Amino acid sequence: MSDNDGKKTLGLRGGARSGNVKQSFSHGRTKNVVVETKRKRVVVPKPGAAGAKGAAGPAGGGGKRPAGISDAEMERRLKALQAAKAREAEETAKREAEEKARAEARERQRAEKEQKEREQREAEERARKKAEDEERKAKEAAEAAKRAAAAPAPAPAREDAPNRGKAKDATPRRDDRGNNNDRNDRNQRGRGRDDNRRSGKLTLNQALGGDGKRGRSMAAMKRKQERARQKAMGGTQAREKVVRDVQLPEAITVAELANRMAERVADVVKALMTNGIMATQNQTIDQDTAELIIEEFGHKVTRVSDADVEDVIQQVEDKEEDLQGRPPVITIMGHVDHGKTSLLDAIRNAKVTAGEAGGITQHIGAYQVKTDGGTVLSFLDTPGHAAFTSMRSRGAQVTDIVVLVVAADDAVMPQTVEAINHAKAAQVPMIVAINKIDKPTANPTKVRTDLLQHEVVVEQMSGEVQDVEVSAHTGQGLDELLEAIALQAEILELKANPDRNAEGAVIEAQLDVGRGPVATVLVQNGTLRTGDIFVVGEQYGKVRALINDKGDRVKEAGPSVPVEVLGLNGTPEAGDVLNVVETDAQAREIAEYRANLAKEKRAAAGAATTLEQLMQKAKEDENVSELPVLVKADVQGSSEAIVQALEKVGNNEVRVRVLHSGVGAITETDVGLAEASGCPVIGFNVRANASARNAANQKGVEIRYYSVIYDLVDDVKAAASGLLEAEIRENFIGYASIKEVFKVTGVGKVAGCIVTEGVARRSAGVRLLRDNVVIHEGTLKTLKRFKDEVAEVQSGQECGMAFENYDDIRADDVIEIFEREEIERTLD
């Protein structure tokens, strides 16, 4: 921009040029800066807009209209302006009305407060006058008594004695009066200085509209009235001690203890110091110390514990008139592949085995069956594999009758014995079902005889245990089996109270992708309804839905009815007890208490290990190879059984370590943990989601899927066997005797030998024996027959041998020739 572009330049002082500004810097440097000014933008109205403006001038009330505004737009703007003004007027009126109402409320409150203060002052004045009157009367009575007592006494005295006494008494009175006057003058001067000093300060009372004088508090007025009343009644009375019932938890802070006793914190701290305990108000003391302090203050102690939160789960004894008959719970137990599920299918007229992988049951199934006679039976089908011991134990604990299934062609097996032990431990009656009676190789007599070894005496052997020969394939004996079950149930006289809060046992639990945590619950007492709030183990929830064994939704489930419960906040452990409570807060509190208790138990178990034990374990683990795995299963019982089975795999050299086990689909978090630990992920009847599959492909994590527990355990056992070091075995193949030793240029000492036994091979290992003592073990550097290098030399032939990196050979030494063989080891 030039200086002569027609703009007005800036006026500068100090002799600087117009349009320039002089800037000063350090070290005396300066710089001239050109100042530019911007011109205002001038909007030239269009001719059409000017005409429209002129035409709209009269309609707009003579006001100036902006360029380019139509009549309709101008009218809308005027209406909007009028509406805004009307709205503003309404808001102003509303605001004034509110201010007026607030002012009236303040005036009313002020009048009420002044009335109360006036009444209190009048009451105080009356009490004060009454007290003064009583005091005056008391003084007058005392003086009258003194005068009456002093009247008969003689009063001989000289005439000048009263004058001397008066003179003596008058002098101190004058002194006292002078002293009092001086003291009053000093007080007046002091008050005057204080008033002058504080006259310019604004107090809170003055700011709030007070008269500058602070009024007494209500508590002070009440205390004054109480003192005046007690004084009028003839003296103060000691306040009666209030004895309180103090609830004392296992640990409590000093401040909380003082608060519960309604005592001063300083007094409680003082009492603790008296007992030799130095504690502040924020420190925690134990229950015994707190009880000592409470008794010292004269209060009563009621000890409470964290476990008291479970008292809401009331164990109510049901009355005899409230009990009603309930269906029996029958558990099918026995060895694997003895036909337990097939027998139950034949009873239910269903094909459950068609949905089981490998034709075996791998989780507890709960079903209800209605017989032709109208009897309702609840069946629990348990697995027979050795890994499912804990699941069979749970099935025996919640059952009324155990049906022991034994194959007629296989007799008593290890899991059959285990089922017998579970039934005896649970003290429930047993019915033996001898299955597969239709097979040609069936031998029911052998089954009955084998059961005698385990103290199970059936009726045909003059015992008390019922036995029925059945065939799940042909349906033979099923009616007799149902009759035996009904007879046993009738003998037991099973009853329960359906009109109470439900109580049940978790048979199985799983994490469903679409439904969340799902628990299969067998209701044992009461009735479980939709909407009930419950706590089960360390989890709690509210019943969102109840699904029976046929997949239908039901509104309630009575005693001995198995249902799937939806609405849990987490997956419970199989075997946990479900209890219905009143409120959600109670359920949450009980679940949190149980979770904390379990955490403390785990921490205590870990802390119980001493340093010496840790060092010993670390030393033992140095030579132990570990195969880490991560297990995800479809249900809680299967996960538990797999972990127990894998922990048994291994020996003192190799073991399997389960890093994590859970229920539900394989997630990206599981893949991340497997990658960090370098272990495979095992999925039992579950699959990985899309993100987990992509992550596993990117990170190279192996995911193995299984549907049968046999295959899973065998594969893990084979993988663990690969960590075992191979066994090295030596095989003797020959002997050679040294006849002469030769020195060969470029080779060193060469032994002229004759093979006396077996064969000599160049690739084999050799030992040099001198007087039957091994003095060297190594390999051959060369093996020659005449001048040719050969691979082996047979017995009775001569040859030349040279040792690798060893020359101390002599005549008559013996060379032992052997081969090493590596044998792979496997876990039993």
Q: What is the Cα–Cα distance from 316 to 313, expressed in whole angstroms?
A: 9
Q: Are 282 and 255 in contact (CB under 8 A)?
A: yes
Encoded tokens for 552: 């239908």
Q: What is the Cα–Cα distance from 525 to 503, expressed in whole angstroms?
A: 5
**For residue 436, which amino acid is it?**
K
- DSSP-derived pairing of the beta strands 654-663 and 625-633: parallel
> Is residue 687 pLDDT above 60, yes or no?
yes
Q: What is the Cα–Cα distance from 629 to 674, expressed in whole angstroms?
A: 8
Of 667 and 311, the one with more pLDDT: 667
Instruction: Name every residue whose Cβ is closer than 8 Å to that of residue 20 and which is 6 or more positions away in sequence.
Output: 12, 32, 33, 34, 35
- From residue 506, alpha-carbon distances to 509, 520, 574 in Å are 7, 6, 5
> Is residue 153 pLDDT above 80, yes or no?
no
Q: Are 716 and 643 in contact (CB under 8 A)?
A: no
Residue 242 exposed, middle or buried by CB count within 10 Å (0-12, 13-18, 19+): exposed
Encoded tokens for 85: 């003004």
Read out DSSP for 425-480? HHT--EEEEEE-TTSTT--HHHHHHHHHTTT--BGGGTSSBEEEE--TTT-TTHHH
The predicted structure's pLDDT at residue 50: 43
The predicted structure's pLDDT at residue 249: 81
The predicted structure's pLDDT at residue 353: 42
Q: What is the Cα–Cα distance from 762 to 432, expressed in whole angstroms?
A: 69
Sign of CA dihedral 168, 174, 176, 179: negative
* End-to-end Cα distance, the chain: 99
Closest CA to 725 of 616, 623, 581: 623
Query: What 3-state class would DSSP assign to 567?
Result: strand
**For residue 350, which amino acid is it?**
A
Q: Are 534 and 546 in contact (CB under 8 A)?
A: no
Read out DSSP for 473-541? TT-TTHHHHHHHHHHHHHHHT-EE-SSSB-EEEEEEEEEETTTEEEEEEEEEESBEETT-EEEETTEEE
Range 508-537 average pLDDT:
86
Read out DSSP for 30-45? EEEEE---PPPPPPPP
Residue 267's DSSP bridge partners are none
The predicted structure's pLDDT at residue 236: 54
Range 538-545 average pLDDT:
90
Which helix H or strand E contains 167, and what residues bound it?
helix 160-198
Q: Give tens-digit pLDDT for 11-55.
A: 544 444 456 777 788 777 888 877 766 655 655 555 544 444 444
Encoded tokens for 220: 């002070």
Q: What is the Cα–Cα distance from 577 to 614, expressed in whole angstroms?
A: 36
**For residue 356, which amino acid is it?**
E
Q: What is the Cα–Cα distance from 733 to 756, expressed in whole angstroms?
A: 11
Sole residue written with tokens 């550097």 = 781
Q: What is the Cα–Cα distance from 633 to 664, expressed in whole angstroms?
A: 6
**pLDDT band at residue 464 under the 50/70/90 scheme:** confident
Degrees (nearest 5) of the Cα angle 601, 605, 610? 150
User: With left for phi above 0 and alpha for psi between -120 and 50, is residue 489 left, alpha or beta?
Assistant: alpha
Of 68 and 490, the one with more pLDDT: 490
Range 106-117 average pLDDT:
89
Q: Are 743 and 751 in contact (CB under 8 A)?
A: no
Range 753-763 average pLDDT:
88
The predicted structure's pLDDT at residue 61: 43
Residue 531 exposed, middle or buried by CB count within 10 Å (0-12, 13-18, 19+): exposed
Q: State CA 555 to chain mean position distance.
A: 31
Which of 139-148, 173-182, 637-646, 669-678 is the least confident region? 173-182
**pLDDT band at residue 360 under the 50/70/90 scheme:** very low
The predicted structure's pLDDT at residue 158: 43
Q: State CA 135 to chain mean position distance.
A: 72
The predicted structure's pLDDT at residue 86: 92
Q: Are 754 and 736 in contact (CB under 8 A)?
A: yes
Q: Give tens-digit pLDDT for 699-731.
A: 888 888 888 777 888 888 888 777 666 667 788
DSSP 309: G
**pLDDT band at residue 83 under the 50/70/90 scheme:** very high
> Is residue 805 pLDDT above 80, yes or no?
yes
Instruction: Name every residue whose Cβ is closer than 8 Å to that of residue 3 and which is 6 or more positions away in sequence.
Output: 9, 18, 19
> Is residue 160 pLDDT above 60, yes or no?
no
Alpha helices by DSSP H, 329-398: 340-348, 389-397
Q: What is the Cα–Cα distance from 750 to 758, expressed in whole angstroms?
A: 21
Q: How many helices and strands, by DSSP H and E, does the chain display?
A: 19, 35
The predicted structure's pLDDT at residue 4: 52
Q: What is the Cα–Cα distance from 366 to 521, expressed in whole angstroms?
A: 9
* pTM higher than 0.95: no
The predicted structure's pLDDT at residue 172: 45
Q: Give tens-digit pLDDT for 204-231.
A: 556 555 555 566 788 888 888 888 887 7
- From residue 735, alpha-carbon distances to 772, 781, 783, 789 in Å are 12, 17, 14, 19
Please, what is the average pLDDT of the chain? Answer: 78
Residue 742's DSSP bridge partners are 750
The predicted structure's pLDDT at residue 17: 47
Burial 624-633 (b: 16+ CB within 10 A, else e): eeebebbbbb
Closest CA to 630 of 654, 662, 655, 668: 662
Query: What 3-state class would DSSP assign to 681?
Result: strand
Range 253-260 average pLDDT:
91
**For residue 355, which amino acid is it?**
G
Residue count of the chain: 828
The neighbour count for residue 348, using CB atoms within 10 Å, is: 16
The predicted structure's pLDDT at residue 146: 81
The neighbour count for residue 301, using CB atoms within 10 Å, is: 15
**pLDDT band at residue 258 under the 50/70/90 scheme:** very high
Q: Give tens-digit pLDDT for 384-404.
A: 544 445 555 665 667 888 888
Q: Are 752 and 738 in contact (CB under 8 A)?
A: yes
Burial 786-821 (b: 16+ CB within 10 A, else e): eeeebebbeeeeebbbbbeebeebeeebbbbbbeee
- 736 phi and psi, to 5 degrees? -140, 140
DSSP 200: T
Range 257-285 average pLDDT:
90
Range 436-453 average pLDDT:
85
